[in-house]
A and B are shown apart, each in its own frame.
Chain A
């Protein structure tokens, strides 16, 4: 039985730094939302809105219906999230996660998309093979097939997140300390520079 729902964002954050989960669920703190973050969120929404006017060429799809900002919930997985966009085609449906970056595919984005695939499958009651990460700056989409291993990995990580919350363990700081520089939780960690 699901005690509480985790979000897809939690999963993404866990890959980035498990301490964010600790500060979200175990020791909630008021995080500082910077002007830059607010601007970023607004720019993301605007880019998503504009994207709705474009064709599906970037996805190499000829036809399909775009559906924006779909709330998805799975009781079975204890997982919820709001999907930026998904495309429904006669051949199946594909989640699309928008990313406002030029960086190469990162591990946390990959598994975030995998989590949306699992949620979308539950939403439609049909198998979903994979989805797209859409890079807003260069307007290109990358198809990611969600393999059986990725599905298991996502479920494993969800278990780990629950265990972290239930056992109230303060995790180690991420070994990539560059991630701490702009982190809104930096002041609460105490042991990072």
Chain B
């Protein structure tokens, strides 16, 4: 899911990366300029990236209800499903790295065997929100999807490990991990310089060219790119190197097949400006306790639907 195909790599290295470097980004919109406007936060409110970037509620009333009124809700079915599938991927990638370190390069056949035999993300480890008895059919489907996802990613991981091993006779475990699995999952980032939560967690960051990756199991939305933008700004504010690229990975299941579409994009000036504007508008809404009102149309799946309607 987080590894790029040959075509995607070509698009990245021949298309987007040179373009991003040539276009440039206004320095005032680089994360390391967090002490100055427009990046410096106006309000003393720390928001999560999803709270800034999420526009599922057109007016942002969900944020008002959660942060001002203190209303807590249960995640809807799509959110529960997404959490489990994200977890399955993290479980697998971390396990693969662990197996390499435990077995060592000398026991590479064991690495392959153990990875092959690795069971899908066990339900007892799933986050507590999933109610298995509520909808047995949905639960069974989710179990199947976790298996499909794990099988797909397992074979890719094994192929990547073998590809590196046939080329590098003197490689050690650490280098093997970094070359075969050049991704950090659930990277924790402190966004407080930018008025964001100190405990942010991005789905993945790939290296060596840093690309912020966000995995989605729902329908693509135009505001999704604000997620990658937020994390890119935070990384720039923390580490002071440019983060120019983001990638949204859209995964869906068609029967027992996994379909993946990637939206590789430049973290442009427009996205950076838009992110800052929305962050300020939403922080004001919370700081000044402004009820933005009930939107004209809202999805029935919204966890706040019963509180608004």
Smallest CB separation, B80 vs chain A (Å)? 33
| Set A147, A175, A176: member contacting B268, Cβ < 8 A | A147
Q: Is the CB of A147 within 8 A of B23?
A: yes
Q: Is the CB of B37 within 8 A of A150?
A: no
How extensive is the interface on chain B, given as a class? 20 to 34
Q: Is the CB of B37 within 8 A of A105?
A: no
Q: Is the CB of B26 within 8 A of A105?
A: yes
Known contacts A104-B27, A107-B29; is-contact A149 B268 (Cβ 8 Å): yes
> Chain A residue with minimal CB distance to B268?
A149
Q: Is the CB of B26 within 8 A of A175?
A: no
Which residues in chain B, 20-53, are within 8 Å of chain A measured between CB atoms?
Answer: 22-24, 26-29, 36-38, 40, 42
Stretch at the interface among B86-94, B199-207, B269-277, B300-308: B269-277
Is B19 interfacial (CB 8 A cutoff)? yes
How extensive is the interface on chain A, given as a class? 10 to 19
In the bound complex, CA of A149 to CA of B274 (Å) = 11
- Do most interface residues of chain B lie in helix, strand or loop, or is the interface mixed? helix
Which residues in chain A, 135-193, are within 8 Å of chain B measured between CB atoms?
Answer: 144-145, 147, 149-150, 152-153, 174-176
Q: Is the CB of B22 within 8 A of A145?
A: yes
Is A34 interfacial (CB 8 A cutoff)? no
Known contacts A175-B37, A176-B36, A176-B37; is-contact A107 B269 (Cβ 8 Å): yes
Is A110 interfacial (CB 8 A cutoff)? yes
In the bound complex, CA of A172 to CA of B40 (Å) = 16
Q: Is the CB of B28 within 8 A of A107?
A: yes
- CB neighbours (8 Å) of B37 from chain A are 174-176
> Chain A residue with minimal CB distance to B37?
A175
Q: Is the CB of B36 within 8 A of A107?
A: no
| Set B23, B36, B266: member contacting A144, Cβ < 8 A | B23
- CB neighbours (8 Å) of B38 from chain A are 175
- CB neighbours (8 Å) of A145 from chain B are 19, 22-23
Q: Is the CB of A150 within 8 A of B27?
A: no
Smallest CB separation, A101 vs chain B (Å)? 14
| Set A106, A152, A174, A176: member contacting B270, Cβ < 8 A | A152
Q: Is the CB of A150 within 8 A of B36?
A: no
Q: Which residues in B have some Cβ–Cβ distance to A below 8 Å?
A: 19, 22-24, 26-29, 36-38, 40, 42, 266, 268-271, 273-274
